[in-house]
Amino acid sequence: MLSRTRHQPNSSPLRRYILVVVSGMLMFSCNIKKDRSSSGYYPIDSLLKAQANALHRHRAEVSKTSSLSDVNETNTFHPKDIASWEKELAALMEIDAINRPTYNGLYQVDKGLADTRSNLKVDAFTAQGDLPVQSLRIYYQDSPAKVRKIEAVLKEENSLYTSKKFFELEFQDIDRQNILTAYTVEGEQKMYLKDSVHYKIAVAITLAN
């Protein structure tokens, strides 16, 4: 596999493609904010806002690897303020679509499940139909307030393309706070009359203090 490390924005077809994908996520997340409920299945929106504040406070660094076919690009940077962190995490807001008022009652909810691979508990939300968020799983220690991992599967289909995305967010207990330390967005997109494209965005977050 060919690996490349880049620090210049918009420097390659890979970078441009990933920007298109992320831009689509950001547009989707903006629509979510216009149509979200004050209550819902899980407060993704408030969680990510709290993380933006915490990561700025810890002067965290981002190492982001974008992959398309056999090419990888890695960029390392420090978001300069809370607004920059909110922009960095905005792609994850796609998951918040599960909280749209129109989807109330359309998910099977199973809480307090035992995770067979760890000592964590799991709250699982499974779509009972063709909804954008197919599934959401919250892994936590002792109580949902101590989240350790979030997994979500999203699907979108229209006349131009079909896509499926897998999200994974990892958290650690640092100074009695849940801090986001890594996340991955992996997906496949099939355009009409074109081959499928597989991409992956993997982010590692390192705290300075």
Q: What pLDDT, in 10s, does the model give residues 76-120?
A: 999 999 999 999 999 999 999 999 999 999 999 999 999 999 999
Beta pairing partners, 74: 5, 65
Domain layout of the chain by residue ranges: 2-206
- pLDDT tens sequence across 144-201: 999 999 999 999 988 888 899 999 999 999 988 999 999 999 999 888 878 889 999 9
Helix/strand/coil percentages in the chain, nearest 5: 25, 45, 30
Provide the 3-class DSSP secondary structure of residue 140: strand
Structure tokens that stand for 23 in this block = 């831009």
